[in-house]
Amino acid sequence: MSFEFQCHRCGQVHKGMPRLGPDVPDSYHEVSAAEQAARCTLSADDCVIDRTWFFVRGALEIPVAFEDEAFAWLVWVSLNESDYKAWRAARDLPRRAPPGPFRGWLNTRLPGYPDTLNLETRLHLRDRGRRPLVEVAPTGHPLALEQQDGIAAGRVVQLYTLTVHGAP
């Protein structure tokens, strides 16, 4: 059975496990709108700023109790230039076995958590065109603990509501 819930804020029934996240890394907002076209290269999968800062979009998956599918944050991870180039070389291959994992830093602030910017991560490539898996380094941060231990369905609903509708 597929995950679904009725949102108490909008009244709609939402079907399927949510996959939420911004379309750009947080650092993209530090570049003025007038300069973004000249200084940034942006796609759905990666972003380069000033040919110096390299970001890849991945899925930070959190297991959900009694559900077959994980909840996913679509987040941005900063990589060093050599790891970014290795990711680019492997991203269109049907089989993406090593390279990686790549050490990176979360470049996405997520609602419902203490500040998530710059949490240490590992970016794992996956086959068949799937987004890379983002693993938060083990710490006491609530995001790392939830990725390790999982969450209840009610927490998914809470995160969805907060992300889509904002704080009450």
**Hey, what amino acid is at 117?**
L
User: How is residue 16 written in tokens?
Assistant: 């399927």
Q: Has residue 165 been placed in a domain?
A: no
Decide: residue 15, CB within 10 A, 0-12 exposed, 13-18 middle, 19+ buried. Answer: exposed
How far apart CA 79 and CA 53 sit, in angstroms, is 8
Number of domains in the chain: 1
pLDDT at 134: 98
Report the candidate in 19, 24, 18 with the shortest Cα–Cα distance to residue 107. Answer: 24
**Hey, what amino acid is at 113?**
Y
How far apart CA 141 and CA 81 sit, in angstroms, is 27
Q: Has residue 13 been placed in a domain?
A: no
Q: Which structural domain, as residue segments, surrounds residue 69?
A: 19-151
Q: Has residue 8 been placed in a domain?
A: no
Q: Has residue 42 been placed in a domain?
A: yes
Q: Has residue 59 been placed in a domain?
A: yes
Contact 12, 165 (CB under 8 A): no
pLDDT at 98: 64
pLDDT in tens, the chain (168 residues): 589 988 888 888 989 999 999 999 999 999 999 999 999 999 999 999 999 999 999 999 999 999 999 999 999 999 999 999 999 988 877 776 667 899 999 999 999 999 999 999 999 988 777 899 999 999 999 999 999 999 999 999 999 999 998 877
Placement of tokens 């998956």 in the chain: 61
pLDDT at 166: 86
Q: Has residue 131 been placed in a domain?
A: yes
pLDDT at 8: 83
Q: Has residue 137 been placed in a domain?
A: yes
Contact 132, 139 (CB under 8 A): no
Q: Where are the beta strands (DSSP E) in the chain?
A: 4-6, 13-15, 19-20, 40-42, 46-49, 53-62, 71-79, 102-106, 120-124, 133-136
- Give me the phi and psi of 22, to 5 degrees please: -75, 160
Q: Has residue 158 been placed in a domain?
A: no
